[in-house]
Structure 1
Amino acid sequence: MIRLYFLQALYHLRENPIITWVSVLGTAMAICMIMVLVITFQVRLVDCEPEVNRSRTLYVPYMSVKLKGKSDNESANASMSVRTGRECFRALTTPEAVTLVSSAGKVRASVPAGSKATADMVQTDEAFWSVFSFRFLSGAGFTRADCDAGLPRAVLSATIARQLFGTTDVVGHTVQLNYIDYTVAGVVADVSMLATAAYAQIWVPYTAADAESLSWQDDTMGPMHAVILAHSSADFDAIRKETELLRQKYNDGLRDVEIFYRGQPDTQLAYLYRRWYAEPDVPGVMLRYGIVIAILLLVPAVNLSGMTLSRMRRRMAEIGVRKAFGATGGELIRQVFFENFVLTLLAGVVGLALSYAATFLLNDFLFSNSTNAYLSGETALTPGMLLSPWAFIAAFAFCLLMNVLSAGIPAWRASRMNITDAINQR
């Protein structure tokens, strides 16, 4: 029976090729637009290498400082100093791990009397390699002993290692960063700039560089931000409470100023949409995405439904004849459902392929912004970033529902009509 339904569906699709392909392409474009929107959202939100723990990670990218007794609006806003990071975040006991990371800065990397390259470098600590999951091609990350001793260690990305040495097997070699010698501790696979918290091309201990000396506002502000890895997202409230206790203790030791975090630590979604002192409107962001998705689904769906309805009305006589030869109402409805399932399935495959093609072709347009414009890396996409089965299933199911309803309701009405009226399309 399924084979018969399938053959009948193909026959009816070939019967009106123009209408069929307009329907297929219209449905495919609706699915494509939804998938592109979802992909651009999920590449920054879902777990993907090396940020495989986004769902249980909290972020403190900025902080504020004000004179004691002043209002929150009379404040300076920037990243934190190493001292603030250590006393307010590295001292946390509830999380699994806490790392301090500087913003990426340009560095001149070279091999003595050899190749040179300009790279993006961040300063961090040994906990960085526990918070994020890097794929090491050789060696390993620098250790706590390295950081405590302030030893000049460096981890290179594969691209930088190849540019400087011609290979990734360079553990123990010397690399000069702004003409200072560092020993290569490891080499990792390249990181996409879309992994905003983990991205760099070179990583060094902040104790071996200049992060600790870069501070202002009574040594409260500096170049660092904190990334907190919880054992589970259920620990977020407990971490925020402990963070507040440490903040109060830290402020008690400050003479003239005090720090505050404006609603931080942030979840991944809030972290993406935070802008300096402005607290992100997460419900508003989700509402805007929902409205856009609804428009992208409804507008083409309504147009396609009208086309499907028109096609089914022209088949009223056929339905009447089939009913006259003994076809039951259930059989007619199942046939209509199967025809539209085949049509939507074909459109879904085309739409999914178009969405991936559009994402790759429009990579720079979709993912370049003022934050990563000056960086040297690429907004590379991985399979984990692209695959979104639930979004595809939801878009496919909605289009299928609209097509089935627009075809099924006339078919159901025809199956209940007098045979003569159905044949004469009355």
Structure 2
Amino acid sequence: MFTQYFKQALWHLRENPVISWISVLGTALSICMIMVIVITLRVRTADCEPEVNRSRSLYVPNMSYRAKGDTSGSSANSRMSVQTGRECFKALTTAEAVTLVSQPGKVRASLPAGAKMTIDKVETDEAFWHIFRFRFLDGKPFTGADVQSGLPRAVIAASVARRLFGRTDVTGQHLELNHVDFQVCGVVADVSMLATDAYAQVWIPYTAGDAEASTWGYNLMGQMRAVILARSADDFPAIREECERLRQKYNDVQDGVEVFYRGQPDTQFTHLYRSWSQVPDVQRVLLRYLVVILILFIVPAINLSSMTLSRMRRRMAEIGVRKAFGATANELLRQVFVENLMLTCLAGLLGLLLSYAATFVLNGFLFGNSINAYYSGETTLTAGALLSPWIFLVAFAFCLLMNLLSAGIPAWRASRMNIVEAINGKM
């Protein structure tokens, strides 16, 4: 029976190729557009290597300070100093781990009388390797003892290792970063610039770099940002309360100035849309995404329904003849369901492939910005970032529902009509 339905579906596809393929392509493009939007959001917010703990992480990328008691709104905004990070965030007891991380900066990497290249450097601590899970190809990360001692250790990306040494098994080898000697302790797989909080091409202890000494604003401001890993997302309120207590304690010993967080620590989604001192309107951002996705759902669905309905009107005579030869209403509806399911499956598969192709082809357009243009890495996409089965199933189910309604309702009405009227194509 289903084999016969399959043959009939192919026959109708060939009989009305223009309408059929426009319907298939319309469904495919609808799914493609929805998937592209979801993928671009997913790579920024979902748990993906090495940022596998986004869902239970809080972020403090920026700080502000002002004169104590100043109500004019005047303040200075920047990243925090190592001192501020230690007192306000590293001292947290309600968090699983806290790391201080500098913004990536350019550094000249070279070998004595050998290869040279400019790479992106980050200064951090040992907790960084606990919060972010990198795939080590050789060696291991620097330890807390290395950070405490200020030892010149470096973890480098695989592309850097291949460019400088010609291989990735280089643990124990030495390289120079801006003419300062560092020993390689580990090599990791390259990190995409889309992993904005973990990205770099070389990572060193901040005690071996200049981040600790680079401060301003009464030693409150500097180069660092904080990433806080909670044991569970349920701990976020408790962590924020403790951050506020530590801030007040820290301000008590300051002479005439105080730091404040402007609503931070942020969740991953809020962190993504925060712009320096401006607190993002998360509800407005979510509403904007919702409106765009609904438009992408509804507008193609209306067009597809019209084309499917037109195709079913042409089949009224066929349905009438089949009914005259004894076909039941359930058989007619089952045939319509199977035929539309096959066409929607074809459209869904095509839409999924188109979404992946569009994401790769439009990679620079979708993910390029002024910050990424400054860095030396790439906005590569992992399989984990691309695959969003639930969103695909929702989009697919919606398109299937619209197609079934636009085809099923006329078929259901025709199955209950007088045979003569159905054969004459009267609705």
**TM-score normalised according to structure 1 size:** 0.98
| Residues 13-32 of structure 1 mapped to structure 2, 5 A cutoff | 13-32=13-32
**Deviation of residue 211 (structure 1)?**
0.6
Counterpart-to-counterpart distance in 2, 1:192 and 1:72: 42
Amino acid at match of 1:200: A
User: C-alpha deviations, 1:100-153, integer Å up to 9, x for none?
Assistant: 000000000011121111000010001100010001111111100000011111
**Deviation of residue 80 (structure 1)?**
0.4
Amino acid at match of 2:385: M
User: C-alpha deviations, 1:221-273, integer Å up to 9, x for none?
Assistant: 11000001111111111111111111110111111111111111111100100
User: C-alpha deviations, 1:42-77, integer Å up to 9, x for none?
Assistant: 011111110011111110001111110012721111
For residue 269 of structure 1, give the secondary structure of its aligned residue in structure 2: helix
Counterpart-to-counterpart distance in 1, 2:65 and 2:96: 28
Question: Structure 2, unaligned stretches of length 5 or more?
Answer: none
Q: Which residue of 1 aligns with 2:56?
A: 56
User: C-alpha deviations, 1:3-49, integer Å up to 9, x for none?
Assistant: 23222222222221121111111111111111111111101111111
For residue 222 of structure 2, give the secondary structure of its aligned residue in structure 1: coil
Amino acid at match of 2:184: V
For residue 44 of structure 1, give the secondary structure of its aligned residue in structure 2: helix
Deviates more, 1:353-362 or 1:69-78: 69-78
**Deviation of residue 219 (structure 1)?**
0.7
Question: Structure 1, unaligned stretches of length 5 or more?
Answer: none
The answer to whether the Cα contact below 8 Å between 1:66 and 1:72 also exists between their aligned partners in 2 is: no
The answer to whether the Cα contact below 8 Å between 1:30 and 1:300 also exists between their aligned partners in 2 is: yes
Q: Which residue of 2 aligns with 1:248?
A: 248
**Deviation of residue 394 (structure 1)?**
0.8
Amino acid at match of 1:31: I
**Deviation of residue 352 (structure 1)?**
0.7
Counterpart-to-counterpart distance in 2, 1:184 and 1:22: 57
Q: Which residue of 2 aligns with 1:130?
A: 130
| Residues 110-259 of structure 1 mapped to structure 2, 5 A cutoff | 110-259=110-259
Amino acid at match of 1:7: K
User: C-alpha deviations, 1:340-364, integer Å up to 9, x for none?
Assistant: 1111110111111111111111111
For residue 40 of structure 1, give the secondary structure of its aligned residue in structure 2: helix
Counterpart-to-counterpart distance in 2, 1:24 and 1:301: 12
Counterpart-to-counterpart distance in 2, 1:65 and 1:406: 61
Counterpart-to-counterpart distance in 2, 1:351 and 1:335: 24
For residue 52 of structure 1, give the secondary structure of its aligned residue in structure 2: coil
**Deviation of residue 416 (structure 1)?**
1.2
Counterpart-to-counterpart distance in 2, 1:212 and 1:303: 61
The answer to whether the Cα contact below 8 Å between 1:81 and 1:223 also exists between their aligned partners in 2 is: yes
Counterpart-to-counterpart distance in 1, 2:334 and 2:242: 60
**Deviation of residue 337 (structure 1)?**
1.2
**Deviation of residue 322 (structure 1)?**
1.1
Counterpart-to-counterpart distance in 1, 2:71 and 2:177: 43
For residue 155 of structure 2, give the secondary structure of its aligned residue in structure 1: strand
| Percent of aligned positions that are identical | 69
Q: Which residue of 1 aligns with 2:396?
A: 396
Amino acid at match of 1:330: N
**Deviation of residue 2 (structure 1)?**
2.4
Q: Which residue of 2 aligns with 1:298?
A: 298
The answer to whether the Cα contact below 8 Å between 1:58 and 1:266 also exists between their aligned partners in 2 is: yes
Aligned alpha-carbon RMSD (Å) = 1.0
Q: Which residue of 2 aligns with 1:34?
A: 34
Q: Which of structure 1's runs of 4+ aligned residues deviate more than 4 A? A: none
For residue 212 of structure 1, give the secondary structure of its aligned residue in structure 2: coil
Counterpart-to-counterpart distance in 2, 1:370 and 1:236: 32
Q: Which residue of 1 aligns with 2:79?
A: 79
Counterpart-to-counterpart distance in 2, 1:176 and 1:370: 28
Q: Describe the shift of the 1:229–1:167 C-alpha distance in structure 2 as closer, same or farther (beyond 3 A).
A: same
For residue 371 of structure 1, give the secondary structure of its aligned residue in structure 2: helix
User: C-alpha deviations, 1:179-213, integer Å up to 9, x for none?
Assistant: 01111111110000000000000000000111111
Counterpart-to-counterpart distance in 2, 1:5 and 1:92: 65
Counterpart-to-counterpart distance in 1, 2:403 and 2:92: 55
Counterpart-to-counterpart distance in 1, 2:197 and 2:347: 37
